[in-house]
Amino acid sequence: MKNAIKLNDGHSLPRLGLGVWQIPNDDTAGVVSTAINAGYRLIDGAFIYGNEEGMGKGIVQSDVARDALFVTSKVWNSEQGYDKARRAIEDSLKRIGLEYLNMCLIHWPCPVKDQYVDTWKALIAAQKDGQIRSIGVSNFNPDHLDRIIGETGVSPVVNQIEVNPRLIQEKMRAENKSRNIVTQSWTPMGQLASFGAPAIVDICNRLERTPAQVILRWHLQLGASVIPRSTEVAHLTENLAAADFELSDKDMAAISALDEGQRCGPDPVAFEDE
């Protein structure tokens, strides 16, 4: 398995990255630079995480050149609409201290607000202007995907959705794949709820791997990109090693059988928080 996935726009997305949600801004620079120096090349941030400055500092403090990194941000719900989204992208770039984002996502569709098509047009324009290399979405259902593609002719490269052993999202992952959109898994460890499941413990014992490694490996073998968060150096290193081993088809199926259709986060149909 290669370390990167080719996107439908020709760019390459690292399979495994660092998510920075809930990391305080003051701690983010240290975590990001440590992660990059340990081998991470993808950093998944967002305006609403409140730590874009820290993320930018961490990138500068790391030993790796900016052009070897893949930096993502997201347009928050309150910034939807063409003009607001364009400003939000410029503001994120300023806060992070970058000239371009590798990827920008619409964070949630907010279907009641019904501005995601205009927001998508803002991402398309920002891409044309060189502010963003790749454009994608997050928490989009099939009808939301079809609408932005139908109205603009431009397909997202990624749909970042909640996926973990308790919410395997088989249907939504297939919907993404059928449109040549990469699934990127958020909350990939599902609040650690499956760490003690007998199927996971059995695989860990046989392969001498940790629950985090087994679950992250399951994501990778599903064909997803995955963005676990950690502020612990030992966990950052442990999680990177998910790239170094193989799960059998039987073990993959045993993990997928833990599905309960149980979300950790909100349902995209209903989530409109600003």
Ligand X SMILES: NC(=O)c1ccc[n+]([C@@H]2O[C@H](COP(=O)([O-])OP(=O)(O)OC[C@H]3O[C@@H](n4cnc5c(N)ncnc54)[C@H](OP(=O)(O)O)[C@@H]3O)[C@@H](O)[C@H]2O)c1
Q: Which of 154, 238, 252, 263 binds ligand X (CB under 6 A)?
A: 238
- Does position 187 bind ligand X by CB under 6 A? yes
- Does position 139 bind ligand X by CB under 6 A? yes
Residues from 72 through 131 that contact ligand X (CB under 6 A): 107
Q: Which stretch binds ligand X (CB under 6 A): 120-128, 150-158, 165-173, 229-237?
A: 229-237
Q: How far is the CB of 269 from ligand X (least distance, A)?
A: 14
Q: Which is nearer to ligand X, 120 or 128 (CB)?
A: 120
- Count of beta carbons in the 10 Å neighbourhood of residue 81: 18
- Does position 160 bind ligand X by CB under 6 A? yes
Contact 264, 139 (CB under 8 A): no
Q: Please tell me the count of residues contacting ligand X according to CB under 6 A.
A: 25
- Does position 173 bind ligand X by CB under 6 A? no
- Does position 62 bind ligand X by CB under 6 A? no
Nearest residue to ligand X on Cβ basis: 19
Amino acid in position 102? N
Q: Examine the residue annotation and report whether 116 is marked as an active-site residue of this protein.
A: no
Q: Which is nearer to ligand X, 36 or 249 (CB)?
A: 36
Q: Which is nearer to ligand X, 129 or 269 (CB)?
A: 269
Q: Which is nearer to ligand X, 128 or 217 (CB)?
A: 217
Binding site for ligand X (CB under 6 A): 19-21, 44, 107, 138-139, 160, 186-189, 192, 210, 212, 227-232, 235, 238-239, 265
Catalytic center residues: 49
